[in-house]
Amino acid sequence: MSPGVSVAAGLKTGDVHHNKEDFMADSFKIDFQPHGAVETGDLVVFVGEDLKPSDAVARQIGPEAVDLIAKAAAAETFKGKAKSSMSIVVPAGLSVDRLIVIGLGGEKDRAGLDFVQLGGLVAGKANGKVATVALDLPGVEITPDAVADIALGAQLRRYSFDRYKTKKDDNGPDAGRLVLSVSDPAAVKKIYKAREGLQQGVVLARDLVNEPPNVLGPEEFAARAQALTKLGVEVEILDDKAMRKLGMQALLGVAQGSVRGGRVAIMRWNGGKPGDSPISFIGKGVVFDSGGISIKPGAGMEDMKGDMAGAACVVGLMHALASRKAKANVVGAIGLVENMPDGNAQRPGDIVTTMSGQTIEIINTDAEGRLVLADVLWYVQDRFKPKFMIDLATLTGAILVALAQEYAGLFSNDDELAERLTAAGKATGERVWRMPLGPEFDKMIESKFADMKNSAGRFGGSSTAAALLQRFVNDVPWAHLDIAGTAMGSPATEINKGWSSGWGVRLLDRLVRDHYEA
Ligand code: BES
Ligand code: MN
Ligand code: ZN
């Protein structure tokens, strides 16, 4: 359909209606209370490989229950290994329904304990009406920060995208609640507030990726970014006309095959010193990638609704940073388009002039993400002179060939930024692996007819894509994260049972927290 043809009245694309409040999935109910007696529901305790809970918990449940754990463990061949668990139903001598025993493993496991994952494990096991979790662990120090991470993990574990199911998920956020018993509830509550913003940011990113593409076109996506104004984020939306004026013809070339116009959303959180140059995050937001005229095969094409995961991550991150009032000046910018075949669609052979003035020959209309990012990256460095730019994009299938779904590909012109991202990846479990850039790859994108071409074939496919992006960053410290493998359909973990992972929100929140807040 060409843009001149209007959509039949009453059948506007994306015209499924939601209330504002419906946009955000419910949170799972978590309370904090001081250590003490537990009367009803489930009780969760932790043991090492010696099958013993901490001294305080042993005193609380009494010697009989401690003995019962050892006996049940023998019967169940439960050895207290990390990530293992057993539950004892109506345990004699205790008033609770179930005693859930979670293993912490040996010394090494405990030293490297990931509290977010642990929280996920707990929320997966404690699926009754109410579960009290005795957060006093043998051989592990539990700081208020650790408790907040456990609560975050529990929340993410209970995430469920069932908006379009008439029968709701029975282990979702509405199923029961958790009571975390801790030594200092007041201190924990304060820190948890900030983690709650992060949790909502991850949930927001997941929701955006899970939403069907008929509901979430570029315009609707931009409206979700606009909703961040209620957190104090300044949001500007560029429509086709504004982009034409700026000369963003690479982005517009992709958008022109769709009846739904493109958008760029610019989000600004100014929590740092006035006048300090911002840090910036840029996201690929292809709301649906059919491949365009170089159309993709049918099998699995529905997954290409998730080709906006980079943009979703940036929106989720801005939500997290604004919610916790991060002391940093941050720009988020996302390029939103739909890549469709159409009589008006861009063709292989077309040459587009980017906002930077450089020209690109289109070899393959399915290599569209780099075209979108070329203009948004240029725009951000030109307008904001940022300290750095980090872009996230479900950019290439080749990154899945190289790194499976375990690591995101990291490409950077700046070693310090690359090292910081790698460290944040280790700390959060959202890991990145550095991949090469360089003149060899840059040479591969030379074109017979234009300054460069948008596809150089299969060899080094992720690096040649990154090489094109690099031509639009103008010496600003920059990192590109290829998240085609990690953002969606990745293997289930204790904190992610769904299709979209919300990958990158925790990673980048951590990066900002560790290095860029005054
Ligand atoms: N959105 C895809 C990449 C992708 C693949 C994301 C699998 C998530 C899962 C991207 O736009 C694309 O189509 N890339 C092509 C580039 C090629 C035509 C040079 C690819 O990777 O095949
Ligand atoms: Mn594509
Ligand atoms: Zn794509």
Q: How many CB atoms lie within 10 A of CB 104?
A: 22
pLDDT of residue 12: 42
Tell me, in angstroms, the distance from the centre of ligand 3 to residue 440's CA: 24
Main-chain phi, psi angles of 309, to 5 degrees? -65, -30
Least confident segment among 17-26, 266-275, 351-360, 496-505: 17-26
Instruction: With both helix axes pointing from N to C terminus, report the angle between 185-210 and 309-323 in degrees, rounded to the nearest 10.
Output: 160
Pocket flag, ligand 1, residue 405 (CB < 6 Å): no
Q: 356 and 473 in contact (C-beta within 8 Å)?
A: no
Radius of gyration of the chain measured on its C-alpha atoms: 25
Q: Which residues contact 14 (CB under 8 A, 6 or more apart)?
A: 214, 215, 216, 217, 219, 220, 260
Is the Cα dihedral 214, 219, 222, 227 positive or negative? negative
Pocket flag, ligand 1, residue 328 (CB < 6 Å): no
Q: Which of 367, 373, 413, 364 is nearest to 251 (CA)?
A: 373
Nearest residue CA, atom 16 of ligand 1?
367
Q: Which of 323, 318, 386, 326 is nearest to 514 (CA)?
A: 326
Tell me, in angstroms, the distance from the centre of ligand 2 to residue 440's CA: 23
Tell me, in angstroms, the distance from the centre of ligand 3 to residue 334's CA: 14
Question: How many angstroms separate the CA atoms of 236 and 360, rounded?
Answer: 27
Average pLDDT, the chain: 94
Residue 173 has pLDDT above 80, yes or no: no
Residue 315, H or E segment: helix 309-323
Pocket flag, ligand 1, residue 488 (CB < 6 Å): no
Through-space distance between the first and last CA atoms of the chain, rounded to whole angstroms: 51
Question: How many angstroms separate the CA atoms of 232 and 237, rounded?
Answer: 16
Question: How many angstroms separate the CA atoms of 158 and 497, rounded?
Answer: 8
Provide the CA 215 distance to its chain's centre, in angstroms. Answer: 20
DSSP, collapsed to helix, strand or coil, labels residue 488 as: strand
Provide the CA 452 distance to its chain's centre, in angstroms. Answer: 32
pLDDT of residue 4: 38
pLDDT of residue 272: 98
Give me the residues near ligand 2 (ion), CB cutoff below 5 Å: 289, 366, 368
The four Cα atoms 308, 309, 315, 320 give a dihedral, to 10 degrees, of 170
pLDDT of residue 18: 44
Residue 268, H or E segment: strand 263-270
Closest ligand 1 atom to residue 289 Cα is 1
Provide the CA 394 distance to its chain's centre, in angstroms. Answer: 12
* Angle in degrees, CA 232, 235, 237, rounded to 5: 165
Average pLDDT value for residue range 471-481: 98
Residue 443 has pLDDT above 60, yes or no: yes
Residue 95 has pLDDT above 60, yes or no: yes
Residues serving a catalytic function are 296, 370
Question: How many angstroms separate the CA atoms of 326 and 509, rounded?
Answer: 9
DSSP, collapsed to helix, strand or coil, labels residue 285 as: strand
Average pLDDT value for residue range 2-22: 40
Q: 235 and 248 in contact (C-beta within 8 Å)?
A: no
Question: How many angstroms separate the CA atoms of 234 and 232, rounded?
Answer: 6
Q: State which of 366, 399, 445 you would mutate to test the pocket of ligand 1, scoring each by most atoms of that ligand within 8 A of its C-beta.
A: 366
Closest ligand 1 atom to residue 489 Cα is 9
Residue 9 has pLDDT above 50, yes or no: no
Question: Which residues sit opposite 336 in a β-bridge?
Answer: 263, 285
175 vs 507 pLDDT, higher one: 507
419-443 burial by CB neighbour count: b if 16+ within 10 A, else e?
ebbbebbebbebbbebbebeeebbe
**Ramachandran sector of residue 145 (left: φ over 0; alpha: ψ -120 to 50; beta: rest):** alpha
Average pLDDT value for residue range 353-367: 99
Residue 46, H or E segment: strand 42-47
Pocket flag, ligand 1, residue 396 (CB < 6 Å): yes
Q: Which amino acid is at 45?
A: V
The four Cα atoms 205, 207, 210, 212 give a dihedral, to 10 degrees, of -120
Q: What is the DSSP string of 98-153?
A: EEEEEE--SHHHHHT--HHHHHHHHHHH--SSEEEEE---TT----HHHHHHHHHH
Indicate which ligand has the atom closest to the C-alpha of 306. 1
Question: How many angstroms separate the CA atoms of 411 and 417, rounded?
Answer: 10
Reading the block at residue 221, the tokens are: 């996506």
The four Cα atoms 376, 369, 282, 309 give a dihedral, to 10 degrees, of 150
Residue 364 has pLDDT above 90, yes or no: yes
Least confident segment among 82-86, 117-121, 124-128, 493-497: 124-128
Least confident segment among 15-19, 166-170, 403-407: 15-19
Average pLDDT value for residue range 235-241: 98
Indicate which ligand has the atom closest to the C-alpha of 309. 1
pLDDT of residue 340: 98
Q: Which residue bears the tokens 């912490």?
A: 104
Q: 466 and 435 in contact (C-beta within 8 Å)?
A: yes
pLDDT of residue 25: 60
- Give me the percent of the chain exceeding a pLDDT of 70: 95
pLDDT of residue 329: 98
CA atoms in the 13 A half-sphere facing the CB of 285: 33
Average pLDDT value for residue range 67-80: 97
What is the edge-to-edge ordering of all strands in the sheet holding 359-361? 351-353, 359-361, 452-453
* Angle in degrees, CA 72, 75, 81, rounded to 5: 75
